[in-house]
Amino acid sequence: MVQPDLVPHGEKVEDEHEGSDVVDSMWEYPLKNNYVGVNCRRTMTNATTITSRTSSPSDIALQPIHENGRRYCNEIYFMPNDEPEQTRLSIVHQAFLILLDGELTTVPLPPEGPGRVLDIGTGPGDWAVEMGQRYPNSEIIATDISVFDGGPAIIGLPSVHFQLDDAEDDWTYHTPFDLIHFRGLSGAFRDWRGVYEQAFKHLKPGGYIEVVESDPAADIVTWANPNPDSYHDIYVSAMRNAADSLGYPRSREHLSRSLLTSIGFVDVTVQDMTVPVGAWPQDDRQRTLGKMVLIACLESLEARSLRPLTATGRWKKDDVQDLCEKVKQELMTSEGLTMSVRFVTARKPEI
């Protein structure tokens, strides 16, 4: 992994990648007038510009941590940032495009796009880069505590700016945003209220936040023939217990309407979308979505559980991997399996 040296606040650093990888498409599915492709490998020939906004070099570690065969960005965050995880996040992004019929958000946007957008926990940057491509007049700020190898960030769109930042630190932006986007960050924060309060402060009047979650630790999977003694139930319970003991909750409490209204947000909507897991649907579109979701779920089993379970001291690497293999077999052989994805949007009141 090639890592940039983080320089003092606001100065640019470069993440240079030598060589290139072949672009390999797994599926394509027509959405409106476009095509969605799952790019498992991306060309890595350009340099990525990354800036540090609020956190000092000591706050965000740029030297990766190798643990139990996976690579992590620091000593704390439970999700890896290695190549398998980047591939999984790319598949997840494409699955969301199918789920939303090619749209990037459920928030109502003007035809020309939002003026300023903040993408928290951007990962490799799939969502942020596609927003920049669709709305070239919008300014997109994409933040993460981690540096990924390559990915969409290497495209180098002039309107998309990647920054190393921890959203639980104080936000120091001087210009407010029209949209602040969170996706797949269950378990990332100790204090979701504090993060939401900062988001509220840094939104323009009338601006929106969107929070999207599909963490299996929140018990979101529905089985056609439930088995109370399934390995999946053991897996979910172990992850929830580990998250609680480590102080990074992975329930759906941060997605509640009451939490957002207590901060001052209005027009709060909570929408659950049911998606297939597997190739069992008869409809072509749903089958394609189900295949993508199944692969993303299988790839996420170890990624979501290995570090938090071993961190408790009650699980060894081999035990976690054995459990993941058993859950994988249950997922692959189950017909009619679905999962729930929750979309929460809320607006800052007009002055």
Q: What pLDDT score was predicted for residue 62?
A: 66
Section 38-43 average pLDDT: 30
Q: What pLDDT score was predicted for residue 64?
A: 87
Phi, psi of 308 (to 5 degrees): -65, -35
Taking the CA atoms of 166, 167, 168 and 169 in sequence, report the sign of the dihedral they define: positive
Does residue 7 lie within any of the structural domains?
no
Helices 284-311 and 317-332: crossing angle in degrees, nearest 10, is 160
Q: pLDDT, tens digit, for every residue of 205-228? A: 999 999 999 998 988 999 999 888
How many domains is the chain partitioned into structurally? 1
Q: What pLDDT score was predicted for residue 129?
A: 95
Give the Å distances, CA to CA, from 196 to 118, 295, 304, 315. Answer: 13, 31, 24, 33
Round the CA-based radius of gyration of the chain to a whole number and report it.
Answer: 20
Note the pTM of the prediction, 2 decimals: 0.84
Q: Coil, strand, or helix at residue 142? A: strand
CATH number at residue 214: 3.40.50.150
Q: Whole-angstrom Cα distance, residue 223 to residue 111? A: 40
Q: What pLDDT score was predicted for residue 156?
A: 72
Does residue 116 lie within any of the structural domains?
yes
Does residue 220 lie within any of the structural domains?
yes
Does residue 2 lie within any of the structural domains?
no
Q: pLDDT, tens digit, for every residue of 10-32? A: 333 333 323 333 223 333 333 33
Does residue 292 lie within any of the structural domains?
yes
Does residue 5 lie within any of the structural domains?
no
Task: Give bridge partners of residue 160 from the DSSP assignment.
Answer: 140
**What domain range includes position 202?**
12-347
Which residue type, as a one-letter code, is found at position 26?
Answer: M
Q: pLDDT, tens digit, for every residue of 279-291? A: 999 999 999 999 9
Does residue 4 lie within any of the structural domains?
no
